[in-house]
């Protein structure tokens, strides 16, 4: 049997349980948490040696929930409010090769598992590789940010209804996520004032509404688990012997 060109070294366990609510960029939600367990065949006791000396890592991922079936040469980044750019001038997950690149803070390593924060990946994402973030090589202060530097992402103020019953430990995560304004600016139904939105986050299902620049959390309850790592969504050649 021919060895596949690449394999997943592990499946990410993330606090983001669905695409809606997952940050569009890394480090936008510092309170976001994730774990990555390295598969046994990659000998984590040896392959992770020395990685704990670094504060941040690069994650190379596979966009297993991407829905595009045909190549689209242009995309609509949310912050451009309907305007288009070329797919290669964006970080859209809808790409010819659905591969993502994210930076994350490495909190600790325990055995075969990396504990991460600031991630922007949904639960069940296959991770293809991990590399150390090296500031002297990877940080380029004089680099140009193109249209992304001109089109600032809108920010919302987040409040909690008195009867929302939000766990205290979950509030920082919810504030950081909802302040990003998750709505699609091209979907008028999502932008309707007072529309109730549902978000699954860190084992909870919360309801919230947006009015003007204010995001109001209405209620929080337990979420029904979903399996985003099922074989139908991830090519079996990526899974190997997980």
Q: Let me know whether 139 and 20 are in one domain.
A: yes
**214 in a domain, yes or no?**
yes
Question: What pLDDT is recorded for position 240?
Answer: 60
Q: Let me know whether 143 and 155 are in one domain.
A: no
Name which of 109, 99, 102 is nearest 37 in CA terms.
Answer: 109
Query: 3-state class of 80 per DSSP?
Result: helix
Q: Let me know whether 91 and 176 are in one domain.
A: no
Which CATH number goes with the domain that contains 78?
Answer: 2.40.30.70
pTM of the complete model: 0.87
Q: Where are the alpha helices (DSSP H) in the chain?
A: 44-47, 135-138, 146-150, 171-178, 188-191, 236-239
**5 in a domain, yes or no?**
no
Instruction: Kindly report the average pLDDT of the chain as a whole number.
Output: 89
Question: What pLDDT is recorded for position 1?
Answer: 45
Strands 157-160 and 214-222: parallel
Q: Let me know whether 22 and 136 are in one domain.
A: yes
Q: Let me know whether 84 and 28 are in one domain.
A: yes
Query: 3-state class of 133 per DSSP?
Result: coil
Question: What pLDDT is recorded for position 103?
Answer: 98
**31 in a domain, yes or no?**
yes
Question: What pLDDT is recorded for position 241?
Answer: 46
Q: Let me know whether 141 and 50 are in one domain.
A: yes
Question: What pLDDT is recorded for position 165?
Answer: 84
Q: Which domain holds residue 211?
A: 151-222
Name which of 208, 225, 228 is nearest 124 in CA terms.
Answer: 228
Q: Let me know whether 136 and 182 are in one domain.
A: no
**174 in a domain, yes or no?**
yes
Number of structural domains, the chain?
Answer: 2
Question: What pLDDT is recorded for position 179?
Answer: 96
Number of H helices, E strands in the chain: 6, 12
**4 in a domain, yes or no?**
no
For the ranges 51-60, 160-169, 230-239, the lowest mean pLDDT is seen at: 230-239
Q: Let me know whether 185 and 122 are in one domain.
A: no
Separation CA 141–CA 138 (nearest Å): 10
Q: Let me know whether 125 and 59 are in one domain.
A: yes
Q: Let me know whether 182 and 129 are in one domain.
A: no
* Average pLDDT value for residue range 224-228: 58
Query: 3-state class of 109 per DSSP?
Result: strand
- Which residues touch 126 (CB under 8 Å, ≥6 apart)? 8, 10, 11, 12, 61, 62, 64, 229, 234, 238, 239
- Percentages helix, strand, coil for the chain (3-state, rounded to 5) are 20, 30, 50
Alpha carbons within 13 angstroms on the beta-carbon side of residue 17 total 15
Q: Given phi > 0 = left and psi -120 to 50 = alpha, else beta, which region is 194?
A: left
For the ranges 18-27, 71-80, 94-103, the lowest mean pLDDT is seen at: 71-80
pLDDT range class, residue 66, cuts 50, 70, 90: confident
Per-residue pLDDT reduced to its tens digit, 131-174: 999 999 999 999 999 998 898 888 999 999 998 888 888 999 99
Separation CA 127–CA 11 (nearest Å): 6
pLDDT beyond 80 at 46: yes
Question: What pLDDT is recorded for position 231?
Answer: 42
Phi, psi of 150 (to 5 degrees): -90, -35
Per-residue pLDDT reduced to its tens digit, 85-141: 999 999 999 899 999 999 999 999 999 999 999 999 999 999 999 999 999 999 999
């Amino acid at each position: 049997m021919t060895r596949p060109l690449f394999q997943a070294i592990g499946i990410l366990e993330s606090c983001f349980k669905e695409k809606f609510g997952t940050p569009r960029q890394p480090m936008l939600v510092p309170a976001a948490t994730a774990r990555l367990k390295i598969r046994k065949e990659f000998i984590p006791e040896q392959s992770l040696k020395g990685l704990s000396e670094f504060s941040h890592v690069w994650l190379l991922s596979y966009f297993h929930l991407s829905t595009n079936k045909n190549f689209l040469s242009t995309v609509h980044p949310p912050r451009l409010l309907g305007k288009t750019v070329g797919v290669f001038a964006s970080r859209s997950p809808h790409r010819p090769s659905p591969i993502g690149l994210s930076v994350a803070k490495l909190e600790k390593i325990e055995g075969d598992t990396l504990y991460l924060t600031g991630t922007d990946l949904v639960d069940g994402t296959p991770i293809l590789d991990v590399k150390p973030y090296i500031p002297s090589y990877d940080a380029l202060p004089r680099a140009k940010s193109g249209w992304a530097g001109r089109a600032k992402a809108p920010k919302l103020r987040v409040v909690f209804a008195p009867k929302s019953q939000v766990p205290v430990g979950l509030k920082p995560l919810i504030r950081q996520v909802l302040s990003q304004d998750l709505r699609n600016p091209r979907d008028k139904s999502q932008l309707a004032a007072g529309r109730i939105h549902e978000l699954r986050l860190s084992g909870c299902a919360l309801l919230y509404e947006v009015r003007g620049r204010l995001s109001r959390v209405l209620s929080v309850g337990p979420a029904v688990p979903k399996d985003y790592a099922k074989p139908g969504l991830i090519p079996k050649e990526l899974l190997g012997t997980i």
